[in-house]
Amino acid sequence: MACPRNLNPTRWPIAVRDSVKLGADGWAAKAIALGWSDLDLFGVVAAREGDPDADGLAVKLAGRRLLALCASFATIDSVAGGRVYLHRGNNDGARLLWTQGRGR
């Protein structure tokens, strides 16, 4: 999948890989069962269009390993070996990864 316009081309392949991994490893199904929406998981905000905190989990993972999920946040490994807590955002301005670049 090619990187849509207005998105950081460095982040794009990592977000796509993390999206596939969320589905393949069963994390997406667990998240949905906990009340996460599609945008919570796979939303992305184009660099010039909104708050990057509204990005979904697949984008926020940035290649890091997901350790646990609850209804309000995900726990992931940090680069330094600790833990990072990624809270569900407000999704303002977010669109699903696979729809980026369409209809603009």
Q: What is the pLDDT of residue 102?
A: 47
Burial class (CB in 10 A: 0-12, 13-18, 19+), 30: middle
Q: What is the pLDDT of residue 104?
A: 41
Q: What is the pLDDT of residue 63?
A: 92
- Residue-level pLDDT, tens digit, the chain, 104 residues: 667 666 678 888 898 899 999 999 999 999 999 999 999 999 888 765 556 678 899 988 999 999 999 999 999 998 888 899 988 878 887 888 888 764 44
